[in-house]
Structure 1
Amino acid sequence: MTKAIMLQGTGSDVGKTILVAGLCRLAANRGLAVAPFKPQNMSNNAAVADDGGEIGRAQWLQALAARVPSSVHMNPVLLKPQSETGSQIIVQGRVFGQAKGRDYQRLKPQLLEAVLDSFATVKQGRDLVIVEGAGSPAEINLRAGDIANMGFATRADVPVVLVGDIDRGGVIASIVGTHAILLDEDRRQVQGYLINKFRGDVSLFDDGLKAIESYTGWQCFGVVPWLKAAARLPAEDSVVLERLVKNREAALKVAVPVLSRIANFDDLDPLAAEPDIALVYVRAGERLPADAGLVILPGSKSTIGDLEEFRANGWDKDLALHVRRGGRVIGICGGYQMLGRKVSDSLGLEGLPRSVDGLGLLDIETEMAPEKTVRNSAAHSEEYDAPLSGYEIHLGKTHGPDCARPSVTIDGRPDGALSADGRIMGTYLHGLFGSDVYRQKLLASFGLEGEGQSYAGRVDAALDEVASDLERQLSPEWLRSFLG
Structure 2
Amino acid sequence: MAALMLQGTGSDVGKSVLVAGLCRLFTNRRLNVLPFKPQNMSNNAAVTEDGGEIGRAQALQALACRVPPSTDMNPVLIKPQSDTGAQVVVHGRVIGQLGAGDYQDRKGALLDAVMESYAKLSGRADLVIVEGAGSPAEINLRRGDIANMGFARAAGVPVVLVGDIDRGGVIASIVGTKAVIDPDDATMIKGFLINKFRGDPRLFDYGYAEIARRTGWPGLGVVPWIAAARDLPAEDAVVLDRAVATGGGVTIAVPMLSRIANFDDFDPLIHEPAVRLVFVQPGQPIPADAGLIILPGTKATIADLAFLRAQGWDIDVAAHVRRGGALLGICGGYQMLGQTIEDPDGVEGSPETVSGLGYLPVTTRLTGDKRVVDVTGTSLREGAAFAGYEIHVGRTSALASVQPLLRLADSTHDGVVSADGRIAGCYIHRLFDHPAQRSAWLARLGVQCDGVAQEHRVDQALDAVAAGLEQHVDIARLLDIAGYRP
Measured in 2, the distance between the counterparts of 1:347 and 1:453 equals 43
1:384, distance to aligned residue in structure 2 (A): 2.1
Which residue identity lines up with residue 94 of structure 1 in the other structure?
R
**Cross-structure match for 1:405:** 403
Paired amino acid for 1:462? A
| Residue of structure 2 in register with 1:295 after alignment | 293
What residue in structure 2 maps to residue 331 of structure 1?
329
Partner of 1:184: 183
Equivalent residue for 1:6? Answer: 5
Structure 2 distance, partners of 1:335, 1:245, is: 22
2:242 counterpart SS class: helix
Partner of 1:86: 85
Map of 2:202 onto structure 1: 203
1:225 Cα offset (Å): 0.4
Question: How many angstroms does 1:64 deviate by?
Answer: 0.2
Which residue does 2:369 correspond to in 1?
Answer: 371
Q: Distance in 2 between matches of 1:449 and 1:108?
A: 49
Structure-2 separation of matches of 1:284 and 1:394? 24
* Residue number in structure 1 paired with 2:224: 225
Task: Write the distance in 2 (CA, Å) between the matches of 1:393 and 1:306.
Answer: 17
Q: Report 1:165-314 matches (<5 A).
A: 165-246=164-245, 248=246, 250-314=248-312
Deviates further, 355-364 or 14-23: 355-364
Give distance in 2, aligned partners of 1:258 and 1:351. Answer: 21
Q: Secondary structure at the match of 1:372?
A: strand
**1:17-61 alpha-carbon deviations (Å, 9 max, x no partner):** 000000000011000100100000000001111232010011000
Report the AA paired with residue 440 of structure 1.
S
In structure 1, the partner of 2:347 is 349
1:7-46 alignment runs, 5 A limit: 7-46=6-45
Counterpart code for 1:299: G
Segment of structure 1 superposing worse, 316-325 or 45-54: 45-54
Tell me the secondary structure at the aligned position of residue 250 of structure 1.
coil
CA distance in 2, matches of 1:104, 1:319: 38
- Aligned partners of 1:172, 1:332: CA distance in 2, in Å? 43
**Which sits farther off after the overlay, 434-443 or 86-95?**
434-443
Confirm or deny: 8 A CA contact 2:247 2:270 kept in the other structure.
no
Question: Does the 8 A contact of 2:368 with 2:393 survive in 1?
Answer: yes
Counterpart contact for 1:164–1:175, Cα < 8 Å: yes
Q: Distance in 1 between matches of 2:399 and 2:341?
A: 15
Segment of structure 1 superposing worse, 109-118 or 445-454: 445-454
Is the Cα–Cα contact under 8 Å of residues 403 and 415 in structure 1 kept in the other structure?
Answer: no
1:261-291 CA-to-partner distances (Å, cap 9, x unmatched) read 1000000101111111111001111000000
On the 8 A contact 1:402/1:418 being kept in 2, the answer is no
CA contact (8 A) 2:361 2:402 kept: no
Q: Aligned with 2:202: secondary structure?
A: helix
Whole-angstrom CA distance in 2 between matches of 1:312 and 1:470 = 45
- Aligned 8 A contact 1:404 1:417 in 2: yes
Paired residue secondary structure (1:47): strand
* 1:212-238 deviation digits (Å, cap 9, x = unpaired): 112111100000000100011101110
Deviates more, 1:163-172 or 1:364-373: 364-373
TM-score after normalising by structure 1: 0.98
Q: Give 4+ residue runs of structure 1 displaced > 3 Å after superposition.
A: none
Q: Distance in 2 between matches of 1:339 and 1:210?
A: 57
Write the distance in 1 (CA, Å) between the matches of 2:464 and 2:470.
10
Q: Secondary structure at the match of 2:381?
A: coil
Are the structure 2 counterparts of residues 282 and 109 from structure 1 closer, same or farther at C-alpha, using a change threshold of 3 Å? same
> Given residue 47 of structure 1, which amino acid in structure 2 is its aligned partner?
A
Quote the residue 1:148 is aligned against. Answer: 147
CA contact (8 A) 1:14 1:196 kept: yes
**Paired residue secondary structure (1:36):** strand
Q: Could you say if the C-alpha distance between residues 60 and 163 of structure 1 is closer, same or farther in structure 2, counting changes exceeding 3 Å? A: same
In structure 2, distance between residues paired with 1:101 and 1:403? 44
In 2, Cα distance between the equivalents of 1:403 and 1:50? Answer: 34
Q: TM-score, normalised by structure 2?
A: 0.97
User: Equivalent residue for 1:437?
Assistant: 436
How much is the aligned-residue C-alpha RMSD, in angstroms?
1.1
Does structure 2 conserve the Cα–Cα contact (< 8 Å) formed by 1:402 and 1:419?
A: no
Q: Which runs of 5+ in 1 are unaligned?
A: none
C-alpha distance in 1 between matches for 2:278 and 2:113: 40
> What's the CA shift for 1:197?
0.4
CA distance in structure 1 between the partners assigned to 2:244 and 2:293 by the alignment: 15
Q: Deviations over 1:108-167 (max 9, x none)?
A: 222000000000011122100000000000111111100000000000000000000000
- Partners of 1:173 and 1:330 lie apart in 2 by 46
State whether residues 247 and 271 of structure 2, in contact with CA within 8 Å, keep that contact through their aligned partners in structure 1.
Answer: no
Matched, 1:133 2:132: yes
Deviations 1:60-114 (A, max 9, x none): 0000001011000000000000011000000000001110111102222220000
Equivalent in the alignment of 1:60: 59
Partner of 2:144: helix, strand, or coil? coil
The letter for the 1-side match of 2:471 is R
Counterpart AA for 2:314: D
Looking at structure 2, the residues matched to 75 and 123 of structure 1 have their Cα atoms a distance apart, in angstroms, of 14
SS of the residue 1:69 aligns to: coil
Q: Which ranges of structure 2 fall in alignment gaps of 5 or more residues?
A: none
* 2:426 match: 427
Counterpart Cα distance in 2 of 1:305 and 1:207: 50
